[in-house]
Amino acid sequence: MPQDLINRRVWVFDLDNTLYPPQSQLFEQINTRMSAYIMRELGLDRQSADALRHDYWQRYGTTLAGLMQEHGMDPDPYLVDVHDICFDILDPAPELRRAIDALPGRRIVYTNGSAPYAEQVLAARGLSGIFHAVYGVEHAEYHPKPHANAFHAILKRDGIHPDSAVMFEDDVRNLMVPHDMGMATVHVAPDPDPHDHIHHHTDDLAAFLEAILDPAVRTNRT
């Protein structure tokens, strides 16, 4: 049981495949639009665009970071275009909403996507209004997770002390820097992927959060 987290007072949540299940395959729509954008802007065929997208994600943390570094691409039109997707496949998550809203302290979302996109996902999941801040890659000067400067930028912007914070993420790469900074780390994914920098794993975020809270807090907030 994750009772060791109860004294933490800042809860930092990734968005994609963390605040909605990966089975939703929402990010598949984004991948398709990213490849199409690369095809138009760089004059590549689909196979080459897909390969470049994946290569930049592996090497730079996000496809956008690679496009900016290698091609000087303007991030803002890209972010608007690739996040122009359908959110109807997402279902509201009332149990997750209650669990997040019951957490003591400050609750934020930090995504490698854009903040406007994150707000649309939260609305589709019924999670609007329970977070104190929503940060996108634009708030980290377009530096993406897993890079240290991205995390430092967001923590500085929000005034977060790492030793008081918990990071929830589906990508194990994105938990290394938070761990090294002193944050507690929770890997949210269907299957565990054990590493020294991961403190906890869960395949059910709502249940995991409920287990953190003592009965008095849970009773008072539900």
C-alpha 121/C-alpha 27 separation (Å) is: 11
- Token duo for residue 148: 């240290």
Do 26-82 and 3-20+89-221 have the same topology in CATH?
Answer: no
Q: Are strands 184-188 and 165-169 parallel, antiparallel or unpaired?
A: parallel
3-20+89-221, what's its fold? Rossmann fold (3.40.50)
CATH 1.10.150.450 is the classification of domain 26-82: yes
Confidence at residue 2, expressed as pLDDT on a 0 to 100 scale:
78
Chunk the chain into consecutive blocks of 10 residues (it has 222) and report each block's average pLDDT, rounded to whole numbers. Answer: 85 98 93 96 97 95 95 97 96 97 96 98 98 98 96 97 97 97 97 96 96 60 41
C-alpha 176/C-alpha 198 separation (Å) is: 8
Q: Which residues contact 44 (CB under 8 A, 6 or more apart)?
A: 38, 52
Domain ranges for the chain, please list them: 3-20+89-221, 26-82
C-alpha 41/C-alpha 44 separation (Å) is: 8
Confidence at residue 213, expressed as pLDDT on a 0 to 100 scale:
83
C-alpha 163/C-alpha 145 separation (Å) is: 19
- Token duo for residue 91: 């279902």
* Contact between 66 and 56 (Cβ < 8 Å): yes
Confidence at residue 219, expressed as pLDDT on a 0 to 100 scale:
44
Confidence at residue 216, expressed as pLDDT on a 0 to 100 scale:
43
